[in-house]
Amino acid sequence: MTTYGTIPAELPRPSLSMILQAREQIGSIVGSRRKWEDMIKIHALNLPPNVNEAARRIQTNVVFFKTNYVIVVALLLFLTLLLHPVSLIIIAIIAGAWLLQYFLRDNPLLIYGFVIDRSTIITVLTLFTIAMVFLTDLMNNIMTGVFFGLTVVLLHGLFRTVDDLAAGDEKGVNGSQC
């Protein structure tokens, strides 16, 4: 017996499984961050005595607090984009185009009877993204937010002492979750 041409009783829900998978990945990434209390210890902030110590502090803090730093940069980028709502709308349009045309599409795209393959969709979406970024002031706003976030991260890494980080590092990332 063939099932060609029959309508299945239940339609698959790829978007729901994608959302659940994305939620699990984000949860595991956010779960690997260090405690915010460890990151923001007021008594652990001071000037480094020399340039070598400053470089060592920055390197150690970036390795130790990398997930926290990514969260801080993303939050500051988002707050910067909130000050420019047009840029936020453009990012939402770009993300929506990628989601609807590439990530959530199971069937091939048909336009006037012609099948458009995935590589063509990727090319068009990439060109659309590049055009929107460079034809608007989106690039300037993104670079401003990232620069501001990286400046905060660099200053924290410079002033945060690393003496108490080595003792807590034996527990590993999972042992020091929030």
Q: If residue 59 lies in a helix (H) or strand (E), which one and from where to where?
A: helix 51-64
Cα of first residue to Cα of last residue in the chain, in angstroms, is 56
Distance CA(145)–CA(67), nearest Å, equals 18
31 within domain boundaries: no
Percent of the chain having pLDDT more than 70? 72
Instruction: List the domain range (segments joined by +) for residue 53.
Output: 44-165
114 within domain boundaries: yes
Supply the pLDDT for residue 174: 42
Which 3 state secondary structure label does DSSP give 110?
Answer: strand
Nearest to 97 by CA among 136, 62, 124: 124
Per the structure, how many domains does the chain have?
1
Q: How far is CA 178 from the centre of its chain?
A: 20
Neighbour count for residue 113 (Cβ, 10 Å): 5
23 within domain boundaries: no
109 within domain boundaries: yes
Supply the pLDDT for residue 1: 53
87 within domain boundaries: yes
Q: Using CB atoms within 10 Å of the CB of residue 65, give its burial: 0 to 12 exposed, 13 to 18 middle, 19+ buried.
A: buried
Q: What digits encode the pLDDT tens for the residues 33-74?
A: 667 767 777 777 888 889 998 899 889 888 888 888 898 999
34 within domain boundaries: no
Q: What digits encode the pLDDT tens for the residues 92-115?
A: 999 888 888 887 777 777 788 888
Tokens matching residue 68 = 């926290």
- Residue 116 φ/ψ, nearest 5 degrees: -100, 120
